[in-house]
Amino acid sequence: MRKIIVLSFITLDGVMQAPGGPEEDTSGGFKYGGWVTPYFDEASGKVMEKQLKPADYLLGRKTFEIFASYWPEHNDYWPAINDGTKYVLSKTMNKSDWKNSVFLKGVDDIKKIKNSEGADLQVHGSGELIQTLLKHDLVDELWLKIFPVTLRSGKRLFGEGTIPAAFTLEENTVTPSGVIIANYKRAGKVKTGTIGV
């Protein structure tokens, strides 16, 4: 069985929209695109390099379109994205010129891929897809990069699809610029209790 690993840049208030640039995703009037840029440093780069290892990818249509317009021409930085299989959840797309692209129609297709043999599935961007994965308890790990900024508005990582779930911290780093990099693994149901008893 493959793991589904969500890799996400988020703000302190949980926004994940358009971390990479001003024009990446302006939907909803979002005007803070590129909010990660001032915080990237050598330590962040080393972690990113480690996390961009060969894998297969599970992407939403919008993220797929952004990636397909950029990564085939920038193979030198992240060759794995071009070589790996890209599974795309879309109701409107069913083909692409980008090699190794496979289109899925729904959650049942995702479950079949997850239950098959092969590389782990990394999810980058893909806010709506992440909500679907969380709703159906299909996320095995969260690899979060938490940036020291709040934006108030924008698409959030933990939105309407989030179900109660427990996670265990597997690995963490804090960069000199204040980015908290934390990898969490799914750890069953939420446990409750009373402090001091």
State yes or no: pLDDT of 164 exceeds 80: yes
Q: Determine the pLDDT at residue 77.
A: 82
Q: Determine the pLDDT at residue 76.
A: 85
What per-residue string of b and e applies to 97-118 under the rule 16 or more CB within 10 Å gives b? ebeebebbeeeeebeebbeeee
User: Which of 171-175's residues contact partners 24+ apart within 8 Å by CB, and which partners?
Assistant: 173/43, 173/47, 175/39, 175/41, 175/43, 175/44, 175/47
Residue 100 Rama label (left phi>0; alpha psi -120 to 50; beta): left
Mean pLDDT of 26-54: 91
State yes or no: pLDDT of 197 exceeds 80: no
- Residues facing residue 103 across a β-bridge: 88
State yes or no: pLDDT of 192 exceeds 80: yes
Alpha-carbon gap, residue 106 to 91, rounded angstroms: 8
Select from 52, 115, 44 the least CA-distant residue to 79.
52
Three-class HEC string of 118-160: CCCEEEECCHHHHHHHHHCCCCCEEEEEEECCCCCCCCECCCC
Residues counted in the chain:
197
Q: What pTM does this model have?
A: 0.94
Cβ atoms of 165 and 186 closer than 8 Å: yes
State how far the alpha carbon of 155 is from the alpha carbons of 67, 70, 185, in Å: 18, 22, 23
State yes or no: pLDDT of 171 exceeds 90: yes
State yes or no: pLDDT of 161 exceeds 80: no
Mean pLDDT of 129-142: 96
Q: For the chain, first and last CA: distance in Å?
A: 40
Tokens at 82, concatenated: 């071009």
Least confident segment among 6-15, 114-123, 153-162? 153-162
What lies within 8 Å, CB to CB, of 90 at 6+ separation is 60, 61, 64, 103, 104, 105
State yes or no: pLDDT of 105 exceeds 90: yes
Q: Determine the pLDDT at residue 14.
A: 96
